[in-house]
């Protein structure tokens, strides 16, 4: 199937998935007296129809925060900026560090470093975030000096360093292990042994022979890297009290008059837009590494 046709079918397919995914809180109903679960499919499809109809009138872009009605377009800008900043900076630095440290771990014989990496890999992500916050509090208690803010106390004084560190180290951990594994396998290939026999330097072999053959694996796993980054987005924003997109959607999904389908759909579409932007930037960085640095 031509790529242009795939993209043409992909966009409406994603939109349809978001519309169907957002209606499940309407479809799934529980009996208040017996607690039995029932399916209200007609109610779910009616919600989709109302959303499509409201797109022309603008009603689909209105939501309630408590009892106060707001415009989605007026409020989403600040949340989008917050999430975009942490995800973009964290993703770019995390991917770059992951590749460079992955190369180092792939050729290093220092086993205790690898053991630490494996240990942190099995820890849940929210535990890593809590440990970082605990470390800052412990240092502040012992020395009286607060290195970083452990959370945002207001929009005028946001915590920056610690959320950024969290968005860097958690996806970078996956990237390091992925690159180190493929680098170790690549260094056992025959053409690498041939390059060594020609007397080429170790650095030249790594960066001009091995790494170009590892980068395709990095590109192939980029969606998994993005999945880790976005999968932890709500944890970052909740634990650090950041006013990002996920906090905006979860805080207002259920308002005074019940579930707000249009807000959830608009929020998910905003996250997909962020995903596309960050993914494109990461692909651009890898493309630059292939064409400018490596070749």
The answer to whether residue 218 is domain-embedded is: yes
| Distances in whole angstroms, Cα of residue 218 to Cα of each of 68, 120, 215, 287 | 46, 21, 5, 11
Per residue in 241-264, pLDDT (tens digit) is: 888 899 999 888 887 778 899 999
Q: Can you give the pLDDT at residue 241?
A: 86
Burial call 254-290: b when 16+ CB within 10 Å, e when fewer:
ebeeeebbbbbbbbbebbeebbeebbeebeeebeebe
Same domain, 51 and 87: no
Any idea what the CATH number is for the domain that residue 212 is in? 1.10.3720.10
Same domain, 51 and 176: no
Model confidence at 268, pLDDT cuts 50, 70, 90, reads very high
Distance, CA of 134 to CA of 116 (rounded, Å): 19
The answer to whether residue 243 is domain-embedded is: yes
Is the pLDDT confidence value at 294 over 60?
Answer: no
- Beta strands 254-255 and 258-259 are antiparallel
The answer to whether residue 62 is domain-embedded is: no
Q: In percent, how much of the chain has pLDDT > 90?
A: 20
The answer to whether residue 101 is domain-embedded is: yes
How much is the pTM? 0.85
Same domain, 279 and 138: yes
Same domain, 174 and 89: yes
Q: Please say whether the beta carbons of 26 and 259 come within 8 A.
A: yes
Please state the three-class secondary structure of 233-261 as a single string.
HHHHHHHCCCCCHHHHHHHHCEECCEECH
Is the pLDDT confidence value at 293 over 70?
Answer: no
| Distances in whole angstroms, Cα of residue 156 to Cα of each of 78, 85, 150, 230 | 12, 16, 15, 25
Please give the DSSP secondary-structure letter assigned to residue 232: T
Q: Can you give the pLDDT at residue 32?
A: 65
**Domain of 213?**
72-294
Model confidence at 280, pLDDT cuts 50, 70, 90, reads very high
The answer to whether residue 63 is domain-embedded is: no
Same domain, 94 and 52: no
Chosen domain end from 17, 34, 57: 57
Q: Count of domains in the chain?
A: 2
* Most distant CA atoms of the chain, gap in Å: 79
Same domain, 35 and 174: no
The answer to whether residue 205 is domain-embedded is: yes
Give DSSP secondary structure letters for 56-118. Answer: HHTGGGEEEETTEEEEHHHHHHHHHHHHHHHHHHHHHHHHHHHHHHHHHHHH---HHHHHHHH
Q: Can you give the pLDDT at residue 278?
A: 93
Q: Please say whether the beta carbons of 221 and 178 come within 8 A.
A: yes
Q: Can you give the pLDDT at residue 2?
A: 67
Distance, CA of 7 to CA of 232 (rounded, Å): 27
Same domain, 254 and 281: yes
Angle, CA of 152, 173 and 157, to the nearest 5°: 10
| Distances in whole angstroms, Cα of residue 23 to Cα of each of 18, 58, 115, 219, 274 | 9, 19, 45, 33, 22
Please give the DSSP secondary-structure letter assigned to residue 156: T
């Amino acid at each position: 199937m031509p790529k242009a046709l795939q993209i043409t079918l992909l966009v409406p397919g994603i939109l349809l998935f978001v519309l169907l995914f957002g209606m499940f809180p309407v479809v799934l109903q529980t009996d208040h007296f017996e607690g039995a679960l029932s399916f209200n499919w007609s109610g779910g499809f009616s919600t989709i129809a109302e959303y499509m109809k409201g797109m022309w009138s603008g009603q689909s872009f209105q939501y309630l925060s408590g009892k106060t009605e707001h415009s989605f377009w007026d409020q989403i800008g600040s949340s989008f900026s917050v999430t975009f900043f942490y995800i973009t900076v964290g993703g770019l630095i995390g991917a770059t560090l992951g590749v460079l440290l992955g190369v180092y771990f792939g050729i290093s014989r220092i086993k205790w470093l690898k053991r630490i990496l494996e240990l942190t890999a099995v820890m849940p992500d929210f535990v890593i975030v809590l440990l970082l916050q605990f470390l800052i509090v412990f240092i502040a208690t012992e020395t009286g000096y607060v290195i970083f803010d452990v959370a945002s106390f207001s929009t005028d004084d946001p915590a920056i360093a610690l959320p950024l560190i969290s968005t860097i180290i958690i996806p970078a951990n996956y990237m390091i292990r992925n690159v180190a594994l493929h680098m170790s396998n690549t260094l056992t290939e025959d053409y690498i042994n041939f390059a060594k026999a020609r007397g080429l330097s170790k650095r030249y072999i790594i960066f001009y022979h091995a790494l170009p053959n590892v980068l395709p694996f990095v590109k192939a796993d980029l969606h998994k890297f993005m999945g880790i980054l976005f999968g932890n987005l709500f944890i970052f924003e909740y634990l650090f009290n950041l006013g990002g997109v996920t906090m905006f959607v979860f805080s207002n999904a259920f308002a005074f008059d019940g579930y707000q389908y249009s807000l959830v759909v608009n929020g998910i579409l905003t996250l997909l837009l962020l995903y596309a932007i960050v993914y494109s930037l990461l692909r651009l960085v890898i493309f630059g590494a292939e064409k400018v640095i490596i070749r």
